[in-house]
Amino acid sequence: MARRLMLALVAALVISGLFTFWLSRRVAHASHVPVQPPNQYVAAARSLDPGETIRREDLSMIDWPKSHPLAGSFMKIDDVVGRSVLYPLASGQPILDRQLAAAGSGIGLTGRIPTGMRAIALKSDEVVGVAGFLMPGTHVDVLVTYTDNNHPEPVTATVLQDAEVLAAGHQVQPDPSGKPVSVDVVTLLLSPEEAEKAVLASEKGTIHFVLRNGGDHGAAGATPVALAQLAGLPSTPKGAPPAPEVQKPHAPKPWVVETMMGDKRSAVSFY
């Protein structure tokens, strides 16, 4: 009995020693695995607004886990200095290439114009400009009131729909408090074809802006409105042929029967 107890004790000691040796080797191996240093990316040292040109003092370097690399990021400050911001950047946020205007594209509005689009300034005033509520980022429809040889009476037509306001006067960012600002020039972001329509409309008549809901991007089926339609009268284009006159049918010619009796004469008409 004592011999069996002794064998069991020896076996337990051997197994415990082997486990302790294996565990120590694992711990020693793990301690010798080198820790990979994090990546360092260029980030904004302060909040940056769209249209700003980035300076060296606006940037800092931040650590980022090497296991989660950022596509389109920058590792050198010199690669970012001088470029224009397209979207708002928070302090400490890593800067990505898609958030900046193309290198050498300039500053101000130039860097905010997407490829294939155009920016055009149209004359406005406090009333036409929706009483100062035309702010950068809002969307408008553009109407024109005009007259020509075919329309001697004033006609108002919608020439553009859902156009984005890039700038109101020299302001490229809306007022943080939402305070209206009266301006006399509004800059719109348009396609080349839309820019041609805007120029023609501004040359031929008076431009009006209609403010849209920010989430409404649908196209309305608006038709031109003439002055006569304000009074509920049909609008007839100049040069249209007059409506033909309806002639009343002539009454049939009666038959007349004349009777003579001596010196008396009488006549009776029949239809």
Instruction: Report mean pLDDT in 10-residue bins for the chain, 271 residues.
Output: 71 76 71 70 91 89 90 92 86 91 65 81 62 77 85 86 83 60 80 92 87 82 80 56 50 66 68 57
Q: Which of 84, 173, 90, 102 is nearest to 135 (CA)?
A: 173
SS (H, E, C) the chain: CHHHHHHHHHHHHHHHHHHHHHHHHHHHHHHCCCCCCCEEEEEECCCECCCCECCHHHEEEEEECCCCCCCCECCCHHHCCCCEECCCECCCCECEHHHECCCCCCCHHHHHCCCCCEEEEEECCCCCCHHHCCCCCCEEEEEEEEEECCEEEEEEEEEEEEEEEEEECCECCCCCCCCCCCCCEEEEEECHHHHHHHHHHHHHEEEEEEECCCCCCCCCCCCCEEHHHHCCCCCCCCCCCCCCCCCCCCCCCCEEEEEEECCEEEEEEEC
Tokens of 51: 């249209």
State the pTM of this model.
0.49
Give me the residue spans of the domains in the chain: 39-112, 118-230
**Residues in Cβ contact with 106 at an 8 Å cutoff, skipping those fewer than 6 apart:** 84
Q: What is the dihedral of CA 109, 112, 118, 120, to 10 degrees?
A: -30
Are 131 and 138 contacting, i.e. CB atoms less than 8 angstroms apart?
Answer: no
pLDDT of residue 191: 93
The CATH number of 39-112 is: 3.90.1210.10
Q: What is the pLDDT of residue 251?
A: 59
Distance CA 230, CA 247 (A): 33
Name the amino acid, one letter, at 266.
Answer: S
Looking at residue 243, what is its pLDDT?
42
